Amino acid sequence: MIRDFDLRAAAQIFFTLVIAVVIGWAFFGMVMIAERDHESQSEKIKEIIDRALIQCYALEGAYPNDIRYLSKYGVLFNNEEYEYYYELTWATYMPVVAVIPLD
């Protein structure tokens, strides 16, 4: 009888540990997916900005002095979640653009 109780207790402890590991693994996976999604979102925003820069250059013959000028071409800037780095070296060279997530 004592042996049955010990086996039941051991089985319950084992089952609890397995459930805890599965829950921890699932939580870790969700965090990793969220981080990867945030990074891919930054890349998509950069691609949109690059397309707007090309369109601006094609229509106006030069890149804008300020990245905010691209709102004229439909770019919406989310300053609460992202920081935008924009460096224009020459009016005829593609500017350096970086979209940095604010975490």
pLDDT in tens for each of the 103 residues of the chain? 456 567 777 778 887 887 777 777 766 667 766 666 666 888 999 999 999 999 999 999 999 999 999 999 999 999 999 999 999 988 789 999 999 988 7
**DSSP letter assigned to residue 92:** T
pLDDT for the residue 33: 65
Q: Residue 41 contacts by C-beta under 8 Å, 6 or more apart in sequence?
A: 101
The token duo for 67 is: 């990245």
Write down the pLDDT at residue 84: 96
Helix (H/G/I), strand (E/B), else coil: 62: coil
The three-class DSSP label of residue 64 is coil
Identify the sign of the CA torsion 56, 57, 58, 59.
Answer: positive
- The predicted structure's pLDDT at residue 40: 81
Using DSSP, state whether 89 is helix, strand or coil.
coil
Whole-prediction pTM: 0.65
CA 98 – CA 88 distance, rounded (Å): 12
Residue 20, pLDDT score: 77
What's the confidence (pLDDT) of residue 18?
A: 78
Sequence ranges of the domains in the chain? 2-101
